[in-house]
Amino acid sequence: MAELIDLLRDDDIPDTGVRFSNLIGQERVRDVLTRAANTGRIAHAYLFLGEDGSGKEAAALDFARILLCKSDAERQGVNRTNLPCESCDSCAQSRKLTHSGLRLLFPQPKPQPPKESQDGIDAVEQYSTAQRKLMDAVLAAKVDDYYADLAVSGGNEILIEHIRSLRQEFRLTSYSGGWRIVLISQADKLRVQAANAFLKLLEEPPPNVVFILTSSRESRLLPTILSRCQVLRFSRIDRETLRSELMTRVKVNEAKAEAATRLANGSWKRAVEWARGDPSKETAKVVELMRDLLRGDPGKIDQLVDFWGAAARSGSFAGLLERMSLWMRDVQRYDADPGSVSEFDWDEHLIKFASFTEGRHFEDALAAIDEARLDIERHVQTSLIAHNLFYQLRRVLFSQAANQA
């Protein structure tokens, strides 16, 4: 299937109180999924595309809970109450992500080799106690916050064993509980074998099964998988919605909500992190790094490479790059039109930096940062990423060549 087409006018939609209580913003997505739930026109496969923190998995889990709610199944579209009802046993189970009709697949580490010869399906059960604790912790965090990452240390791909197990389950088991929902998080991490195995499920979908795939990397998905899904695109959340929801849900004051919103770049997850942290302290790390690069002392830059390139700080380095990218985009905006960007009046470091680097090639600096972030995802050695990036930024923003540009 191609992009999802809205088949009904707004006045054709029954008012049945469908609730996406965990989803922030994304009104168009709400409308499309509400129509599907209200009319019973449920696609067998959806693909939710959007940046991290836009709410793809929050929408997927809210939609799954709506479909799994027993109130929906029992009333069969007649005088339905708010869905999910939060009163039936099904809602209690789906709230904890333990419902037998809900499966979550996400990148996981490879299991320990079986001690005895077993087939591929059984091998998936050979996780060590430590691995299981890590995965249980990830799922527990997801129960508490639908915007939490389904990410486990060492989990780089969705394993073919899990797809085979899923196919086997659908072949051998019957299910009388209504819908079955399979959420495949980060579907772009289905490697070729796993993707091809999953494609067979899409080509001959089991009855009453809804697949919901999420991804922020459309280009890495098999075109054949894309063509068999109804696609919903998640936009960056608008700033007014972020600011309002931060004050309502996170209980921060307006000033902190405004600062977090500006730094979040349309991501609810990042907005919450900024609101609960100290934006000025984190931004100061970027400012200090830029000062060191400006001074240009090779010994100091090498020390920075050693510090940020340490394997133990790979996660911290990824966070630094994200903050650096946001800060550099603000510098670029200020450089383009200083008079119209009043929101930066309080940020003296940004204004001084923008004044000093006026007219520099900020696009090249941002491209270098973005490439470094991609290299982290590609598992390039962190010290090599840091070395290349710091010297590139030094050349683009502060070198003699840059001064003459």
Q: The CATH number of the domain where 222 resides is what?
A: 3.40.50.300
Pair 171, 228 in one domain: yes
Arithmetic mean of pLDDT, 240-251: 92
Q: What pLDDT shows up at residue 208?
A: 86
Cis check: omega of the bond before 84, within 30 degrees of 0: yes
Q: Determine the 3-state secondary structure of 49 from DSSP.
A: strand
Pair 155, 88 in one domain: yes
Indicate whether 3 belongs to any domain: no
- Looking at the predicted structure, is the pLDDT value of residue 16 above 60? no
Q: How far apart are CA 123 and CA 116, in angstroms?
A: 10
Indicate whether 27 belongs to any domain: yes
**Mean residue pLDDT across the chain:** 82
Pair 324, 377 in one domain: yes
Q: What pLDDT shows up at residue 8?
A: 37
Residue 139 burial (10 A CB sphere; 0-12, 13-18, 19+): middle
Pair 286, 210 in one domain: no
Q: What pLDDT shows up at residue 181?
A: 93
Most confident of 246-250, 318-322, 360-364: 246-250
Indicate whether 169 belongs to any domain: yes
Query: Does residue 281 or residue 15 have the better pLDDT?
Result: 281
Q: pLDDT-based confidence at 327, cuts 50/70/90?
A: confident
- Domain boundary (184, 205, 235) is at 235
Q: pLDDT-based confidence at 172, cuts 50/70/90?
A: low
Pair 384, 292 in one domain: yes
Pair 290, 348 in one domain: yes
Indicate whether 299 belongs to any domain: yes
Query: Does residue 248 or residue 130 have the better pLDDT?
Result: 248
Is the distance from CB of 142 to CB of 97 less than 8 angstroms?
Answer: yes
Lowest mean pLDDT among 118-127, 168-177, 387-396: 118-127
- Domain boundary (235, 266, 294) is at 235
Pair 118, 190 in one domain: yes
Pair 70, 184 in one domain: yes
Which domain range does residue 386 map to? 278-404
- Looking at the predicted structure, is the pLDDT value of residue 83 above 70? yes
Query: Does residue 404 or residue 316 have the better pLDDT?
Result: 316
Q: pLDDT-based confidence at 346, cuts 50/70/90?
A: low
Lowest mean pLDDT among 177-181, 191-195, 298-302: 177-181
Q: What pLDDT shows up at residue 403?
A: 45
Indicate whether 247 belongs to any domain: no
Over residues 202-232, the pLDDT tens digits come to 988 888 899 999 999 898 899 999 999 999 9
Q: How far apart are CA 65 and CA 139, in angstroms?
A: 16
- Domain boundary (203, 235, 267) is at 235
Pair 231, 283 in one domain: no
Query: Does residue 174 or residue 221 have the better pLDDT?
Result: 221
Pair 154, 205 in one domain: yes
Over residues 23-79, the pLDDT tens digits come to 999 999 999 999 998 888 999 999 999 998 999 999 999 999 999 988 755 544 444
Rounded alpha-carbon distances, angstroms, from residue 233 to 25, 46, 189, 195? 13, 11, 18, 21
Which of 349, 339, 390 has the alpha carbon at shortest distance from 368? 390
Indicate whether 242 belongs to any domain: no
Indicate whether 270 belongs to any domain: no
Contacts of residue 236, defined as CB under 8 A and 6 or more positions apart, other chains included, come to 51, 54, 265, 266, 267
Lowest mean pLDDT among 271-275, 332-336, 398-402: 398-402
How many structural domains comprise the chain?
Answer: 2
Lowest mean pLDDT among 28-32, 270-274, 334-338: 334-338
**Residue 123, both tokens:** 């091998």
Indicate whether 383 belongs to any domain: yes
Pair 219, 338 in one domain: no
Pair 102, 226 in one domain: yes
